[in-house]
């Protein structure tokens, strides 16, 4: 008797389940008629797609018909734990009642464009790792309400190499958004000082003429653009078809601490360095013709005595200097009363007289004295030669606005 009742109960329950399922199927048919797009929740994963639920019924969405794309299906398996339970929208691709079959197509417009802020930190999922970096999807940061937002974090942009080596797909990582690459891909980083090398901003320097510091160290010569960026100065026939011999002579005479002005002709983003071209004729001629004085510890603080040794008296023989831009080195010298005086050494060999001007501001004599006082020992200016008289080179230093603010800020 109990066995019969159990069978009857199971039949009734099965009947109720079929009725309930039929009601849901009917409701789904109604939704298809009334609406074009339908919500679905990701509940499980299969080899080529996701098991989803829509209006209480199980369905299927292929990886290839999800609302966003990844280059590898493995990336879908990586992000599945983070998108499980997420509700998205799609169209009905295929619907059959017997047996019940629902296939949805999620390739519809359903996301707004997010507003990302440069230099702001975001958290994302590593979806792929290569020899040159990791691809990260910060769609996770917004709980996927904007879909996928993926980009590259280069291995050189990790805080250190060990962190890159330890990183694995599926892990969460915090990084900064640095902008967009040419292909609209997001650029990420963890080292702000390297940003300009990966965003294309550094390429804006190509064509610019910038100061280059010469560094002599253990017989090697290094070049630092703006005392910051490493640079190479190739001396070949290709770069200097008309004056190769002259350039070679000038390069050989460069000494530690020299500042020359070169054009940026190429950027090497991998090595984070510039290739430069030295074409400043006054500088090149000045370096070739100068007598190099090597300071020893016993003479390093002799100030004006060293200046006298470096001055070349034959300035009258060089009237062609007028109108040219020349290098002016600042020399600080104490007089007999212990007061610090400012002297000017032109092209490392001529005594100079400095005239200071600005295009929009008249500099008073008092302000000129203050500016001369604030100039630092060894500082180098680039000035126009006004005249050459009585073994004295008169030069004009036309201050830019930012330089004027530096000296007159008080």
What's the pLDDT tens digit per position in 102-137? Answer: 999 999 999 999 999 999 999 999 999 999 899 999
162 versus 300: which is more confidently predicted?
A: 162
- How much is the pLDDT for 8? 47
Q: What angle do CA 220, 217, 195 make, to 5 degrees?
A: 90
- Determine phi and psi for 8, rounding to 5 degrees: -60, -40
What's the whole-number mean pLDDT along residues 32-47? 93
Q: Which of 45-54, 276-285, 295-304 has the lowest mean pLDDT?
A: 295-304
Q: Is the pTM of this model over 0.95?
A: no
Residues of the chain with CATH 2.40.50.140: 16-105, 121-199, 202-287
- How much is the pLDDT for 298? 39
pLDDT tens track for 168-201: 999 999 999 999 887 888 999 999 988 988 888 8
Given its phi and psi angles, is residue 258 left (phi above 0), alpha (psi -120 to 50 degrees) or beta? beta
Contact 273, 225 (CB under 8 A): no
**What b/e sequence results for 257-289 when a residue is b if at least 16 CB atoms lie within 10 Å of its CB, and e otherwise?**
ebbbbbbbeebeeeeebbbbbbebebbbbbbeb
For the cut 80, the answer to whether the pLDDT of residue 294 exceeds it is no
Q: What angle do CA 132, 70, 139 make, to 5 degrees?
A: 90
Tell me whether strands 186-189 and 340-346 are parallel, antiparallel or unpaired: unpaired
Instruction: Give just the sign of the alpha carbon dihedral 172, 177, 178, 181.
Output: positive
For the cut 90, the answer to whether the pLDDT of residue 351 exceeds it is no
Most confident of 3-12, 42-51, 245-254: 42-51
For the cut 80, the answer to whether the pLDDT of residue 40 exceeds it is yes
Percent of the chain with pLDDT over 70: 86
- How much is the pLDDT for 10? 57
Calpha distance 39→52 (Å, rounded) = 10
Which CATH architecture does the domain made up of 16-105 adopt?
Answer: Beta Barrel (2.40)
- How much is the pLDDT for 16? 53
Most confident of 113-117, 294-298, 310-314, 344-348: 113-117
- How much is the pLDDT for 260? 92
Q: Which of 166-180, 257-271, 287-301 has the lowest mean pLDDT?
A: 287-301
- How much is the pLDDT for 64? 95
Calpha distance 364→362 (Å, rounded) = 6
In the numeric block, the tokens 């996928």 are attached to 148
CATH class for the region spanning 202-287:
mainly beta
CATH 2.60.40 fits 296-408, yes or no: no
* Nearest C-alpha neighbor of 31 from the set 111, 103, 91, 97: 91
Most confident of 18-32, 227-241, 329-343, 358-372: 227-241
Q: Which of 167-181, 241-255, 351-365 has the lowest mean pLDDT?
A: 351-365
Contact 393, 323 (CB under 8 A): no
Calpha distance 114→122 (Å, rounded) = 13
Task: Provide the pLDDT confidence category of residue 3 given band limits of 50, 70 and 90.
Answer: low
One-letter-per-residue 3-state SS of the chain: CHHHHHHHHHHHHHHHHHHHHHHHHHHHHHHHHHCCCEEEEEEEECCCEEEEEECCEEEEEEHHHCCCCCCCHHHHHHHHHHHCCCEEEEEEEEEECCCCEEEEECCCCCCCCCCCCCCCEEEEEEEEEECCEEEEEHHHHHCCCCCCCEEEEEHHHCCCHHHHHHCCCCCEEEEEEEEECCCCCEEEECCHHHHHHHHCHHHHHCCCEEEEEEEEECCEEEEEECCCEEEECCCCCCCCCCCHHHHHHHHHHCCCCCEEEEEEEEEECCCCEEEEEECCHHHHHHHHHCCCCCCCCCCCCCCHHHHHHHCCCHHHHCHHHCCCEEEEEEEEEECCCCCEEEEEEECCCEEEEEEEECCCCCCCHHHHHHHHHHCCCCCEEEEEEEEEECCEEEEEEECCHHHHHHHHCC
What's the whole-number mean pLDDT along residues 24-30? 88
204 versus 13: which is more confidently predicted?
A: 204
CATH topology classification for 121-199: OB fold (Dihydrolipoamide Acetyltransferase, E2P) (2.40.50)
- How much is the pLDDT for 199? 86
- Determine phi and psi for 358, rounding to 5 degrees: -145, 145
Task: Provide the pLDDT confidence category of residue 160 given band limits of 50, 70 and 90.
Answer: confident
For the cut 80, the answer to whether the pLDDT of residue 303 exceeds it is no
Q: What tokens does 383 get?
A: 């000035």
Calpha distance 355→127 (Å, rounded) = 62
Percent of the chain with pLDDT over 90: 47
Most confident of 78-82, 247-251, 393-397: 78-82
């Amino acid at each position: 008797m109990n066995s019969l009742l159990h069978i009857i109960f199971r039949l009734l329950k099965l009947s109720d389940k079929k009725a309930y399922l039929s009601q849901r199927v009917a409701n789904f048919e109604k939704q298809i008629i009334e609406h074009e797009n339908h919500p679905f929740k990701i509940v499980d994963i299969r080899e080529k797609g996701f098991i989803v639920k829509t209006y209480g019924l199980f369905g299927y969405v292929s990886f290839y018909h999800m609302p966003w794309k990844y280059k590898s299906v493995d990336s879908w398996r990586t992000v599945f734990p983070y998108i499980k339970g997420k509700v998205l929208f799609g169209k009905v691709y295929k619907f059959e009642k017997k047996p019940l079959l629902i296939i949805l197509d999620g390739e519809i417009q359903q996301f707004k464009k997010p507003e990302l802020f440069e230099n702001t930190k975001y958290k994302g999922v590593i979806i792929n790792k290569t020899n040159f970096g990791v691809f990260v999807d910060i769609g996770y940061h917004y709980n996927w309400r904007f879909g996928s937002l993926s980009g590259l974090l280069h291995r050189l942009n990790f805080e250190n190499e060990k962190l890159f080596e330890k990183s694995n797909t599926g892990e969460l990582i915090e990084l900064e958004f640095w902008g967009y690459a040419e292909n609209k891909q997001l650029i990420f980083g963890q080292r702000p000082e390297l940003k300009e090398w990966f965003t294309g901003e550094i390429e804006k320097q190509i064509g610019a003429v910038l100061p280059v510091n010469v560094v002599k160290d253990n017989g090697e010569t290094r070049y630092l653009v703006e005392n910051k960026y490493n640079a190479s100065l190739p001396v070949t026939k290709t770069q200097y078809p008309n004056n190769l011999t002259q350039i070679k002579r000038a390069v050989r005479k460069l000494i530690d601490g020299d500042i020359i002005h070169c054009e940026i002709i190429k950027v090497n983003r991998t090595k984070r360095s510039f290739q430069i071209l030295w074409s400043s004729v006054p500088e090149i001629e000045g370096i070739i013709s100068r007598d190099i004085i090597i300071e020893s510890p016993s003479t390093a603080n002799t100030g004006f005595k060293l200046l006298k040794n470096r001055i070349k008296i034959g300035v009258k023989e060089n009237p062609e200097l007028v109108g040219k831009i020349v290098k002016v080195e600042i020399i600080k010298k104490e007089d007999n009363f212990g007061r610090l005086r400012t002297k000017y050494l032109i092209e490392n060999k001529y005594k100079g007289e400095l005239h200071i001007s600005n295009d929009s501001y008249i500099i008073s004599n008092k302000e000129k004295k203050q500016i001369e006082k604030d100039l630092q020992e060894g500082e180098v200016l680039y000035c126009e030669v006004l005249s050459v008289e009585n073994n004295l080179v008169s030069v004009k230093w036309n201050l830019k606005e930012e330089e004027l603010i530096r000296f007159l800020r008080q």
